[in-house]
Structure 1
Amino acid sequence: MRILFLAPHPFFVERGTPIAVRQAVTVLCEQGHEVDLLTYHEGAEVEIPGARILRIRPGFGISNVPIGFSAKKLVCDAWLAAAALRQVRQGDYDVVHAVEEAVFIALACRAAGKFRVVYDMDSLMPDQIAEKWPAARVLLPPLQWFERQAIRRADLILPVCQAIAERAEKATSAAKVHLLPDVAFAPDAPDGCEIEDLRTLFVTPAPLALYVGNLERYQGIDLLLEAFRRLPPEEACNLAVIGGTPEMVSGHRAKTSGLKIAERVRFLGQRNLDALGAYLAQADILCSPRLKGVNTPMKVYGYMASGRAILATDILSHSQVLDSECAVLARPDPQAICDGLRVLIRDGGLRARLGTNAATRARELYGPAAFARRLERAYATISPVPATSVPDAAALQ
């Protein structure tokens, strides 16, 4: 099939949604589809065999489009809508695959062409807006109505996690909803990629905890730092943090000084995504102290694939993928996180057992092969040609 893939964000950048888009487009091309990826003007140039990457050209000097809803994103989405309409009029597409808010663009363009709409549902957009701007809560009912309309009018829904799938199934036929979690991968570093030995960054040897991700407040890094402050000296642990803008890194370094834990915490800033596996392999404990949300962070799948023990907050983002067989889940408060750390610091056998179980689950349910099978099975439901290689749905439950 010929597919127009709408990605309303900078591409390519090393963060969750663009990584998921690259994976999906790569798999679709490998499965024989022709894909035109229409995305923002910003991002690194990457090559995806079999795909064309098309970019908008917005005016007004728009640059540095941030994560999440913003005025800059609204402007870029308007240009994306205009570009999508031109593509639909010029190209004979069978499918428009739309990520997040681009589903509204796809549905609006359907008047100009005969194609199926795939809604790649990576989050609950109304809920995110209400969480970020509490004053916008009065708009939650109408925003959720628009979300339901998009779900009902789309031909195929690809929710990224079970909680989002359940929301979608309440608005439309369950047969249209196909769960498509992110891929669990911890890639080996390419030749020539410089990787620090994290343990040498600390003066005092101790078990090594690692956090990977941005430093936005919802990620809970302040919660993790406060938990480290509460660790008793006899159960010390070192913490390395990868990710964050230079400004956020600087601010959090100052916080560690105020908490008197600077000697045990190192903020490394951003690192090459291709080196992720090599960094995860160095850790004893991998941390995800996220405060809220329902979609499972992509890094959790990478954590699982690495075979290292995981400490995560006991919220839906984590608990729909992790349980006590493969992680320590703790309430999102400093003392509970501290207690979870102490359990893992004391018990190397527990760390090994949790890590092994997590890696097995990642390989069986969330590996690249499982992702490809899920996507193929979902697309088979809207394909004019019956698929012959798609396994029974029960194999991926």
Structure 2
Amino acid sequence: MHIDRFARALFEQAGGGLLYVLGGDTLPAYQREGDVEIVRYLREAEHVLERAAGYGARLATLLDRLPDLELVHFRDPWGGAPIVERPKRRYTAVYEVNGLPSIELPFLYPSIPPVLLESVHALEQRCLEGADVVITPSDVTAARLAERGIAAQVIRNGADLPQPAPPPDGPSNYLLYFGALQPWQGVDTALRAFARLQDLDDLDLVICASVHQRRAKAYRKFAEKLQIADRVHWHFALPEHELARWREHALLSLAPLKDCSRNVVQGCAPLKILESMASGTPVVASDLPAVRELLTDGEHGRLVAPDRPGELARAIRVLLDFPDRRASMGESARAHVAQHLSWERSVGQLRDLYTAHGLQADWIAA
């Protein structure tokens, strides 16, 4: 959603452009939609860093074919290096920092050598210092970049206010977790908390994972161990219109982010929180600095200590006992998104940035 909104803003302002992204099994290597060309890097590799290096090398060859670029917007250091280090470049380079691989990679690959992380950190720094503009969706991330000598402009993630939708086919009283299943998301905390609510016979937990079901194997086994598997309902890679129905009709939406360097040191801007609020669904989330940027405890939902399933369960139980309070929180959350956290607002800030840097070219890349 984030890439789609920002890329569309970019190409609408420029009257076209080139989108270069990683591709999947079912997507073509090349596609054209009106004035926008889409190039996907499809080559697999044994290790993620090997694929990242190939991704950057392919981008370098694409840049050779685009001599009239005026602005390039990138989101990772692998693609950023050939952009900012290109000799005698005349285009503006905008680095959108949503994450720092030097912080995230140890969570995905715990055995990664420190010397390799130092190399990744150095690559990030070259991109940060070589970019003309650095933007990020979180104040926490901006503060971290400031410690590295980089001034970043904060343009927050956003959400749309959805139209009312009929309830989905499934349980009528349920808690919702949706999104990815990386270790820092705290899905295990949500399962542990739900296990403490087993006395609520009519309550279920729905998990709408954005990834393939094989990624959920460990969590499904954990639910069996907790003896809650029959009340945990899994859905995978749902289209947005189906996911929207689950969001709108949930009693509460859960965002039990872990207290770890990925969330606290690096920062984050979870779309699951914003999209739940936009749907009028109160959020029970971990009390972390990046989360406090998006919602106010007691007004749009509840914030609880991270990594403590007992506290998460207690907050859920209290809110379930007070439906009027839940409804009031949901209304306040939706109004807060409409006023302060809409995609329209975020895209407007991005357009202003492009205008400030004189974007008038016919072709740009992201």
Q: 2:58 aligns with which of 82, 103, 124?
A: 82
Q: 1:252 aligns with which of 207, 210, 219?
A: 219
- CA–CA distance in structure 2, aligned partners of residues 197 and 228 of structure 1: 21
- CA–CA distance in structure 2, aligned partners of residues 137 and 143 of structure 1: 11
Task: Tell whether 2:124 aligns with 1:147.
Answer: yes
Higher relative contact order (CA 8 A, sep 6+): 2
Give secondary structure in 2 for the equivalent of 1:374: helix
- CA–CA distance in structure 1, aligned partners of residues 153 and 255 of structure 2: 26
- CA–CA distance in structure 1, aligned partners of residues 336 and 113 of structure 2: 38
Task: Tell whether 2:169 aligns with 1:197.
Answer: yes
TM-score by length of 2: 0.83
| 1:99–1:314 Cα change, 3 Å | same
Q: 1:166 aligns with which of 139, 143, 163?
A: 143
Give unmatched runs, 5+ long, in structure 2: 361-366
- CA–CA distance in structure 2, aligned partners of residues 133 and 72 of structure 1: 10
Mean Cα deviation higher: 33-42 or 140-149: 140-149
Which residue number in structure 2 is paired with residue 330 of structure 1? Answer: 304
Verify the 8 A CA contact 1:162 1:179 in the aligned structure 2.
yes
Cα offset, 1:158, TM superposition: 1.4
Cα offset, 1:255, TM superposition: 2.7
Verify the 8 A CA contact 2:269 2:291 in the aligned structure 1.
yes
Give secondary structure in 1 for the equivalent of 2:349: helix
Verify the 8 A CA contact 1:107 1:153 in the aligned structure 2.
yes
Give secondary structure in 1 for the equivalent of 2:154: coil
Which residue number in structure 2 is paired with residue 302 of structure 1? Answer: 275
- CA–CA distance in structure 2, aligned partners of residues 211 and 239 of structure 1: 8
Q: Aligned residue pairs: how many?
A: 346
- State the one-letter code of the partner of 1:128: E
Cα offset, 1:384, TM superposition: 6.4
| 1:375–1:112 Cα change, 3 Å | same
How does 1:8-157 map onto structure 2 within 5 Å? 19-42=1-24, 44=27, 49-56=34-41, 58=43, 62=44, 71-101=47-77, 102-108=79-85, 110-111=86-87, 113-134=89-110, 136=112, 138-139=114-115, 143-157=120-134
TM-score by length of 1: 0.77
| Per-residue deviation, residues 249-299 of structure 1 (Å, max 9, x unmatched) | 444333323212233321223311232222211111011112141212222
Which residue number in structure 1 is paired with residue 363 of structure 2? Answer: none
Verify the 8 A CA contact 1:312 1:318 in the aligned structure 2.
yes
- CA–CA distance in structure 1, aligned partners of residues 226 and 23 of structure 2: 41
Mean Cα deviation higher: 279-288 or 161-170: 161-170
- CA–CA distance in structure 1, aligned partners of residues 42 and 326 of structure 2: 50
Give the CA RMSD over aligned residues. 2.9
Task: Tell whether 2:196 aligns with 1:223.
Answer: no
Give secondary structure in 2 for the equivalent of 1:165: helix
Runs of 4+ in 1 over 6 A off after TM superposition: none
- State the one-letter code of the partner of 1:227: A
- CA–CA distance in structure 2, aligned partners of residues 300 and 44 of structure 1: 29
| 1:347–1:248 Cα change, 3 Å | same
Identity %: 21
Mean Cα deviation higher: 250-259 or 161-170: 250-259
| 1:47–1:309 Cα change, 3 Å | farther
Mean Cα deviation higher: 145-154 or 43-52: 43-52
Cα offset, 1:105, TM superposition: 2.4
| 1:55–1:229 Cα change, 3 Å | closer
- CA–CA distance in structure 2, aligned partners of residues 276 and 48 of structure 1: 26
| 1:302–1:48 Cα change, 3 Å | farther
Verify the 8 A CA contact 1:239 1:264 in the aligned structure 2.
yes
Verify the 8 A CA contact 1:188 1:277 in the aligned structure 2.
no
| 1:304–1:35 Cα change, 3 Å | same
| 1:81–1:347 Cα change, 3 Å | same
Give secondary structure in 2 for the equivalent of 1:117: strand
Verify the 8 A CA contact 1:187 1:275 in the aligned structure 2.
no
How does 1:383-394 map onto structure 2 within 5 Å? 383=358
Cα offset, 1:368, TM superposition: 2.2
Cα offset, 1:375, TM superposition: 0.3
Which residue number in structure 2 is paired with residue 351 of structure 1? Answer: 326
| 1:23–1:311 Cα change, 3 Å | same
| 1:137–1:81 Cα change, 3 Å | closer
- CA–CA distance in structure 2, aligned partners of residues 141 and 195 of structure 1: 49
- State the one-letter code of the partner of 1:52: E
- CA–CA distance in structure 2, aligned partners of residues 195 and 271 of structure 1: 15
Which residue number in structure 2 is paired with residue 277 of structure 1? Answer: 244
Which residue number in structure 2 is paired with residue 287 of structure 1? Answer: 254
Verify the 8 A CA contact 2:168 2:242 in the aligned structure 1.
no
